[in-house]
Structure formats: C-alpha cells, structure tokens
Chain A
Amino acid sequence: MSDVTIERVPKGRLGVWLLIAGEIVIFGGFIASYILARLEYPEFGSKEAAGDLNIVVGTVNTLILLISNWTMVKAHEAALEKNVAKAKSFMIYTLVLGLLFLGIKLGYEWPTDFSHGHTISSSKAIADQAPGSEVMKVSLFWSYYFLMTGFHGLHIVVGSLVIFFVMLGISGGQNLHRVELAGAYWHLVELVWVILFPMLYLIQ
C-alpha cells in the first residue's frame, strides 16, 4: 500500500494474531474465574447444574462448529488458488453452520434451560435466608454458564459478520488475503468453544 515502508510479516496477519492474543486473555479471565469456583464447589457437577445440560445437543453443536472450521479452511485454500466462486461458496457454508450453532444455542438450549428454572440471575431473597447454600452455588454455575456461552455467542455473531463482509469484499477477486484473516478469527471462536464445552458440559 505504501512505497515509503518495507513489509515484513504481512501486517494484516500480524494485527489479527495480536487481536486473537488479546481476546484469549479476555476469555482467560472468565475461564480462570470459573475454574477457581469449580475447584471450590463440587456442586457445579450436580444434577441441577452441569447435569442438567444436554450433552447430546452440546456434542452436535461442537461438531457443527468443527465442520464450519473445516469449510473455512477450504475457503482459505480456494482463496490461495484465487478461486473466488469456490471461496465464496465455502464461506456461505461456514456462515450457515455458524448460524445453525447459534440457532441451536439460543433457540433450543437456552429456552430449555429457562424452562427448567435456570437464569443468569440469582435470588437475593434466598441468599439472605441461606447464604452459601447449595441452591446459591448451583445458581452461580448458571450465572457462569450464561455469561460464558453468551460471550462466546457474541463472538460467533462478530465472526459471522466479519466473514460476511469479507465475502462481499472479495467479489472482484481483490482482497483475497482477508479470507485468511477472517478464518483465523473464526478458529479462535472455535478454540474457545472447545475449551468451554468440556468445562461446562462434560465435567460432572
């Protein structure tokens, strides 16, 4: 872009890697806090807490996200071959899978949790009567669950928007390097889920 400076590592790639590093530290704060609470409270694994999550649906969702990462890698491959049509179609598959993940999370899992009486809030009234009781610890689990899956869902939305706008931007065969950058961010979203899934669903 500029004739004044010399390029070393492509600056877009460097920038996205730094952004990903920053995001990992933000998620690190949530994950570390959750692990500390989990170590202190075995109640997090009880039937009313992690036991009430649907592992089958969670596994399906994990697979959906894994496949969406594979399609994103294929889109990157196509971009390297300068095959715009192929790159675009694989990005559309990625978007559909991403939205499917979000649909299952927000359209099925969360409503099921709500119908079982779980919300992000915990009752001040119960806390006043029985401070530190098992009910309170279980509700802390659900606070963490909605906090972390919600924050992850927000990243799915942002990642999808990024992929969508990159897809619009490559129509004329220009800016193909951006497919790699959008893909890198999408992998971060996947990586975080691969940590969240066993932490919230599987350890009971």
Chain B
Amino acid sequence: MSAHHEQSFISKYVFSIDHKYIAKQYTVTGMIFAFIGGLFAVAFRTQLAWPGTNIPFIGVLDGMKYNMLVTNHAMIMFFWAGMPILLAGLGNFVIPLMLGADDMAFPKLNMLSYWIFFVSAVLLILSFMAPGGGAAGGWTMYPPLNAQQGVDPDANFLVNLWTGGSLLILAVAVEFASMLLGGINFLVTSLNMRAKGMKLMDVPAVVWMINLATVDFMFSVGPLISGAVMLLFDRIFNTGFYDPARGGDPILFQHLFWFFGHPEVYVVLLPAIGIVAEIVPTFSRKPLFASRWIIIMATASAFIAFIVWAHHQFVAGIDPRMAEFFSITTIIISVPFAFIFFAVIATMFKGQIEVKTPMLWALGFLVFFLVGGVTGIFNGSAGLDMYIHDTYFVIAHFHYTLIPAVFFAGLAALHFWFPKATGRMMNETLGKLHFWITSIGFNMFAFPLFFSGLYGEHRRIFNYSSYQPMMADWIINIRHVATIGAMILAAAQVLLFINIILSATSGEKAGKNPWKCNTLEWVADSPPPHGNFATPPSCYRGPYEYSNPKRSGSDFWPQNEQ
C-alpha cells in the first residue's frame, strides 16, 4: 500500500480498507441501532406508564410484543450499539493514529470484520420478520424458555431456524466472530506497529484500555459462542443440553452466558474510562495523575473481571459458598475502579479547567457513573441481592453504568475526535444544550427507578394493573416521571443529529491540533489522508506532558517533538 494512491468510489466508501473509514462505518451503524434501541425503550416505557396506550407504528402492546421490545432493546444496545461504537468504532479510529501507524496491521481483515458485523445486523433485522416475530425470551437467552419458545419439536430444523429466537442467537454468534477478528487486529497493531521510540508506557491510556477490553472480550466470549451453539442445537436439532428432563442443565447456560456477560460490562467500561483519561488532562492542562498506576489498576481489573460472573446467579440456586466467593471478588473489583476515579479527579486538582463540550461529557460520565458504581456494591452482596434481584433497582443500577459509559463517554469521544475525523469543529452551544437536556432526561428516567425497585417493583412485567401493591399513587407517579424522562432522553438526540450535520458541513475549520493535545493523532492533518502521516512520527515521551516547566513557551509537549 502506498501512502496516497487514488481509490475508486467502491473501495473508498463501501469496501474500504482504510481504518478511519471503517471506524466511521461502525460508528454510524452503531448510532442508527442506538436510535432504534432507544425508540424501543420509549415504546415499552409508554406501555408501563400508561397501560394500553396505542403506540404509533406498533399499536397496543400485548405481553409478547412487550417482551420482544425489551429483549431486543437490550441486545441492540449492548451488541449493536455499545460494542460497535466504543470498541470497534473508537478503536479503529484512534489505535493506528495514536500509535503513529499508517493503518491497522491487517486492513483487509478489518474490512471483513465490518462486513461480518453487517451480516449480523441483517440477521438481527431478519429475526423480526420470522413467523411469530422477534425473539422475546429476555436478552440473557436463558433456557429452558429460550430453548423452547417458538420451537416445534416435530418440525424440520429449517423451520425452527426460521424463528426469531434462533435467528437472534445466530446474529449474536456472527457478531462475536466479527468482533473476535477485529480484536486480533487491535492487539497485533498495538503490539507491533507503534511509532519509533514508543514504549508500552508511552501508549495513551485510551489505547491501553481498548486493548484490555479486547483481551477481556477475546478470552471470555468463547464459552458463550459454544453455549450459543448448544442453545441453537437445542432449538433446531432437538438436543437436550439444557433440558433437565433429558439430563441437561439450564444453570450450565447461565454460567456460559455470564462468564462472557460480565467481562462484557468491562469491555464497554474500560474504553469509556480511557476516553475520560484522555480528555480530562487535555482540558485541565495537567498530566494524568498516576498514569502508570491507572494502567496497572485497569490491567488488574481486566483480570479480576473473569472471576466475578456468578454474581448474576445468586438467586439461581448456586451453592452459598460459591455465592460468598463471588460476592468478595465483585466487591474487590471496585477497588481498582475507585483508584482510577480518584486519580482522574486528582488530575483536575489545581488545573486550568476549561469546560468545553468534550470535557462536559467526560465530567458527566464521572458523576453519573459513580452512582452506578456505588449501587453495584449493593448488588454484589449476595444477601442484599436476594431481595433486589430482578427489580427496577437493578435496572436503575445498570443504566447508571451503561448510559454514562456508552453515551456520555462515547459522546465525549465523538466531540473530542470529531475535528480530527472531519476537519471541522462541532458547535459548542448546541453541544452544551444537548448535554444538559440529555442529562436531565437520563436522571429523570433512571434515578426514580431505584426507589420503585427497593419498594419491590419487579421487572419483566408488562402491565401492573392487576398487582394492587404496585398501583400506589407514588409508584404510578414514578412510572410517569421515568417514562417522560426516557422520552426527553430520546428527543434530545435530535440536537446531536442537527449538530453533526451542521458541523460536518459548515463548522469552523479545525486545523491540526484544536485542543492543543500531545498524542500523535494531532500531528496528522484533519482529516488525515489515506496513510495518515506524511512522514512517520517518532515518539520521545509519554502522552501527558502538560504544563511541564522544562518546556518553555507552551503548556503542552507533543510526543513527536524533541
């Protein structure tokens, strides 16, 4: 590959092997799915607040349709929004640029990863068109329900394959294969293609975190791929891997699922922390506090992430001694994250803080994620979890972890790297307005659910009208407030859409380094050409040398300048 050869329309915009364009493909696909997933949530929240409402395009929700929307909301937000945006999109964009490389290690494999991902998205959409509609067995796909729902044991295996449940399992498995191939690319690129002189500790925190997330993903997803194949076989070949009557064990699937499912949370969280660790020093003009220890702690948490999974199964009938072990590991894993949080906050101490939009989103992440992190300790304690499991307390908890991670940190990254990707600045006023409306909507929707959850409101119920204790006035009010919050949250995204279109077409020109940042991507042109750098940069120091007294004349010291 020469650095600047001409590309045809197809090879530039469709089957592109340029990591920056693939990053945009992932991000745009992810954002479209995030919007669809969000609308699903608004639809079923409307049903919860005002049961029997006729919802535009969907109609009145019955139990089945409600379950279908909830199941696919979770699936879409995790696997077709969170992972493509935070891992694949962000990783593809920043890894080669921050390492000073011209592209990924395997550009064609990178293109293949995206198109396999695209196939998985098509399978997901097909699953809605199957007879009986989309999958409705909950996003965790627990058997025996999911091994049987919509399945006719006497029918041909193709008939059983052409059901929402089977197609969704297939879509998820294909998506994992795509992310596995992408992950190989990330790790090889980061180990192999760093700029001259760049030691591992000179690699920016966000690249570290994306790679740790990749390791977590690659070494935890295997059991779920095999578990999903077994579940699919239970559906289409009439096996009994998870059927107790046939010697199988439904708890086995829970272990295989959560062995992946919990590290998956860190797959989404670690890149988010990495983003914040890049943005906070830049906008505080101070070195990242204890940056070496942040990376050590994140590495520790990436390993502990493999031994916390059964805290999702405290009520599944696991041995109490095992529950105690997983309670302890779950509480231990909060230690490295607490350390990282304190270090990021310490970075701001006595800094010259400038609250531009990316910084605002990063601060939003810190504040709101804290609520999710602290309530995680509640859920991790086996005794308390017995009570709050499967209530809206858990829903509120994981929305306070995932929305800050995927949306707040993800939007921080979007506003931060948008000038690099398009060459134009995003509109600050629109960005700040979008931040505040999103924050209000999000907190209105998620915070009240802690209270209804503690009161005992159970999730996975589509109409509370026949449960008298759940029909007290205050709890109905909470449902209304939460639903209006979700609507505000969804509507606020129109501002983002307007901002992206306006800024991409007529935003202020950004120049090479609008944020006066040290890392190597700001050495390249904005947007970087095919091949990224005119001359390959060398690296002389770590990425966080802000306000260094040895440097006269400016408060930053790019990694490539001697």
A positions within 8 Å CB-CB of B: 1-9, 11, 14-15, 18-19, 21-30, 32-33, 36-37, 41, 120-122, 124, 127-128, 131-132, 136-137, 139-140, 143-144, 147, 151
Q: Do B233 and A29 touch across chains, with their CB atoms under 8 A apart? A: no
Q: Are B222 and A24 in contact (CB under 8 A)?
A: yes
In the bound assembly, the distance between CA atoms of A21 and B287 in angstroms comes to: 36
Contact A19 B192 (CB under 8 A): no
Chain B residue numbers with a CB within 8 Å of A22 are: 180, 183-184, 218-219, 221-222
11 A-B pairs with CB atoms under 8 Å apart are A9-B191, A14-B192, A15-B184, A22-B184, A24-B222, A25-B221, A27-B222, A28-B222, A29-B226, A122-B246, A136-B240
Q: How far is the CB of B510 from chain A (nearest CB, A)?
A: 23
Q: How far is the CA of A32 from the CA of B219 in the complex (A)?
A: 15
Query: Are A33 and B102 in contact (CB-based, < 8 A)?
Result: no
Q: Mark B146-185, 1 if CB is under 8 A from A, else 0.
A: 0000000100000000000000000000000000100111
Mark B239-258 against chain A: 1 for CB-CB distance below 8 A, else 0: 11101111111001000100
B191 near A8 with CB under 8 A, answer yes
B3 at interface, CB cutoff 8 A: yes
List, in ascending order, chain B residues with CB within 8 A of A15's CB.
105-106, 109, 184-185, 188
Interface centre among B229, B237, B245, B531 (most CB of A within 10 A): B245
B1-32 toward A: CB 8 Å interface, digit per residue (1/0)?
10100000000000000000000000000000
Residues from chain A with a CB closer than 8 A to the CB of B3 are 4
> In the bound complex, how far is the Cα of B241 from the Cα of A147, in angstroms?
11
Q: A4-B3, A18-B188 are in contact. List 12 more A-B contacts (CB 8 A).
A: A5-B192, A5-B194, A7-B192, A11-B192, A22-B218, A32-B223, A33-B241, A33-B252, A37-B248, A127-B240, A131-B244, A132-B247
Q: Which residue of A lies closest to B253 (CB)?
A: A33
Total chain B interface residues with beta-carbon distance under 8 A: 53
How many Å from the CB of B501 to the closest CB on chain A?
34
Q: Which of B194, B238, B252 contacts A124 (CB 8 A)?
A: B238
Known A-B contacts A19-B184, A29-B223, A29-B225; A147 and B230 likewise in contact (beta carbons under 8 Å) = yes
Asked if B101 is at the interface of the complex by the 8 Å CB criterion, the answer is yes
Q: How many A-B residue pairs have CB under 8 A?
A: 147
Chain B interface (Cβ < 8 Å from any Cβ of A): 1, 3, 100-103, 105-106, 109, 153, 180, 183-185, 187-188, 191-196, 218-227, 229-230, 233, 237-241, 243-249, 252, 256, 531-533, 536
Q: With the chains together, A5 CA to B188 CA distance in Å? A: 13
Return the chain B residue nearest A30 by Cβ: B226
CA distance A8 to B256 in the complex (A): 36
User: Which listed residue (A5, A11, A19) contacts B102, Cβ 8 A?
Assistant: A5
Instruction: Chain A residues near B101: list those with CB within 8 A.
Output: 4-5
Asked if B229 and A147 make an inter-chain contact with CB atoms under 8 angstroms apart, the answer reads yes
Complex contacts, B238 vs chain A, CB 8 Å = 121-122, 124
Query: Are A26 and B226 within 8 A (Cβ)?
Result: yes
